[in-house]
Structure 1
């Protein structure tokens, strides 16, 4: 073996110990599980925490929320780009957090004007760029999701920008109900899109699935709040607050997945668990039901 492989092999043996031999010369059952042994080998080889869950025989990574990829992903070796998912997730999380806090009536702010800046600069532009970089690394799901939600924040900001396209002003001048109904349809369209994305996460991780599940409920509740106005003719306040609550959960789920993609052995003392579904490929391996 090469010098580098010898060093990595030595470090691995120091971490997990050698596997004892039985009388016939065959290796005995190791103290750690096969999955843990595989992870330890990959960690020693790549030194890249969450993405060290690599099967050397398959040369692919299991589904992982921090990579914004519900299916099997490419190995770390030979990649020319970093992982753009945490950047897009953080851009989405912060913008969603602020808007959701306002929807819940925090500090009686009422109007989401402050979100316009975030929607243009961070949730919109930065997330759109992250989505394009996902396309460059070959992640179709990540590119579709991040670019689309970047477009959502840009269009959201365009609608609410005072003196811009005057979309909100003209609809409100005609009738407040026309603006609320139009905005409700806008949100329901994003609910449909998010449902499609949610279906594609059913074989990934719990952390990844929960992000889209909370976001799906957020769009649904906010859409209903705008389509079914209250007695005062404004969006239904209780349903809007419920949408804001699930929006906060979606924001923290996005931050959690982002942290899972950032934290590795070079910058963290621990690795963020993402909880693979039992029916996923990794879940089956852990239950000993996979070939």
Structure 2
């Protein structure tokens, strides 16, 4: 007589790190987007640096490593990558002397944002198979990166402001996905739908 044993999924004992990763991404994106949208003066942008290092960068990297442990390639790639984005943003804008770039600074920043837009675009394709909530985040983020990139390439404050407002929508969508993950787990039922695929 043979006995069938069911092995638990990899990392089944680990809580879903998506709530942390999405929450860290949302909050940091929200604060920077308020600056980009021109809602507060650009001179207060340094308030983002601590968030970019600790929450957007550090917390997302931790969430990404946990996603690797759970066997989630999409979550691991997304959270580790955007954690690295925020750490690079913290270093680039807060600890790098960019004065030598002169008038070409906007071209360099535009290239930086464009590259992240391209990465986000192909992650958006993969997000189609994750959930509707995550897909909305990636669609909005892709558009945000491209608007901010073209805003820098064209030295256009108007495009940057529009990118800032799209960033706010992106943050709200990511907060919703994070909140849904926490609430649905806590209440042990679907309180907020994420429209799984």
For the criterion TM > 0.5, the same-fold answer is yes
Q: Which residue of 1 aligns with 2:68?
A: 135
Equivalent residues of 1:103, 1:110 under 8 A apart: no
Q: Which runs of 5 or more structure 1 residues have no equivalent in the other structure?
A: 1-58, 60-73, 230-235, 281-291
Equivalent residues, number: 191
Q: Which residue of 2 aligns with 1:226?
A: 152
Judged with a 3 Å threshold, the aligned counterparts in structure 2 of structure 1 residues 256 and 75 are, in CA distance, closer, same or farther, namely: farther
Q: Which runs of 5 or more structure 2 residues have no equivalent in the other structure?
A: 1-5
- 1:149-207 CA-partner distances (Å, limit 9, x unpaired): 0000000110111xx342x2332xxx1x2111101000000000000100012234321
3-state SS of 1:86 partner: helix
Judged with a 3 Å threshold, the aligned counterparts in structure 2 of structure 1 residues 219 and 135 are, in CA distance, closer, same or farther, namely: same
Structure (1 or 2) with the greater helix fraction = 2
Q: Which residue of 1 aligns with 2:3?
A: none
Q: Where in structure 2 are the equivalents of 1:71-82 lying within 5 Å?
A: 79-82=12-15
- 1:106-154 CA-partner distances (Å, limit 9, x unpaired): 1334452111111011100111111011101110110000000000000
* Structure 2 residue 89 is matched with structure 1 residue 169: no
Superposition RMSD in Å: 2.1
Q: Which residue of 1 aligns with 2:128?
A: 202
Judged with a 3 Å threshold, the aligned counterparts in structure 2 of structure 1 residues 195 and 114 are, in CA distance, closer, same or farther, namely: same
3-state SS of 2:192 partner: coil
Structure 1 length as normaliser, TM-score? 0.61
Which one has the largest radius of gyration?
1
Q: Where in structure 2 are the equivalents of 1:121-270 lying within 5 Å?
A: 121-161=54-94, 164-166=95-97, 168-171=98-101, 175=102, 177-229=103-155, 236-264=156-184, 266-267=186-187
3-state SS of 1:273 partner: coil
